[in-house]
Amino acid sequence: MEYKTLYNKEKIPVLGIGTWGMGGGMMKSTANDAENIAALKTAIKLGITHIDTAEMYGSGHSEELVGEAIKGVARKKLFITTKVWSTHLSYEGVINACKNSLKRLGLNYVDLYLIHWPNPLFSFEKTMKAMDYLVDNKMTRYIGVSNFSVSQMEKAQKSAKHKIVTNQVEYHLLNRRAGHELLPYCVKNNIILTAYSPLARGKLAQWGYNEALDAIAKKYKKTPAQVALRWLIQQPNTIVIPKASRIEHVKELVGAVGWELLEGYNNKLSIDFS
């Protein structure tokens, strides 16, 4: 595995696995439990130890599946991220949501707890006080946000004692908005940018979707998915959390680490997709 470093120099894996759709969408579904647990177990075996989930995914069932998949794995080897939904951002709401997530995950603490989406109906002051409480009470090691603008990050950070270590946002070759203002802000402030939907929800994993991507993949004996992830991983402060529920897809994800996309090809992709 390759790593980036958090503000305090702790390492965070550049490649994690997402779980949206595992355990259902907005509603719980148990239809593919066995397949999803097998995919997550395979990921861990292959060294993908950062797992991203949320209380909202499958109405909590995604967290239950993660809990099942990590049973028996040394806790310190894992980096578990989960998120509080945007209607639970009152002081008590955040703390209760975290307690419930921990129960479903079967853990005493998560590594990273995120505010899933900002919600103007709640004040940053109270929400961030609750996030601080979670760190102070060892329910999470780190706090962060998701889908926040730079100005929302600044406001949230002003209300928090503990540092916001990441902003998790959509970022991939087909949506490069985060690269313009947010990424430079993260670099300047020692914050990790976690790129979600890094395969553009599967589009960038298809041969034939984009000629330049296919050509570069062939040149490196890689796949389009691996090149698309590599384009993100090579950016400063950036880590990726693609989702894969098929074992062959999980195995393919691992091929995004351990090699370099030369600058010329990197630039070609940036130009081609702009």
For ligand NAP, the closer of residues 157 and 167 by Cβ is 167
Shortest reach from residue 195's CB to ligand NAP, in Å: 8
The residue number with the shortest CB distance to ligand NAP is 18
In angstroms, the CA 88 to CA 65 distance is 22
Annotated catalytic residue 220:
no
Amino acid code (one letter) for 122 = F
Catalytic residue (one of 3, 57, 109, 265):
57
Shortest reach from residue 71's CB to ligand NAP, in Å: 20
Residue numbers at the binding site for ligand NAP (CB under 6 A): 18-20, 52, 116, 146-147, 168, 196-202, 205, 225, 241-246, 249, 252
For ligand NAP, the closer of residues 8 and 68 by Cβ is 68
For ligand NAP, the closer of residues 127 and 146 by Cβ is 146
Shortest reach from residue 241's CB to ligand NAP, in Å: 5
For ligand NAP, the closer of residues 95 and 232 by Cβ is 232
Enzyme catalytic residues: 57
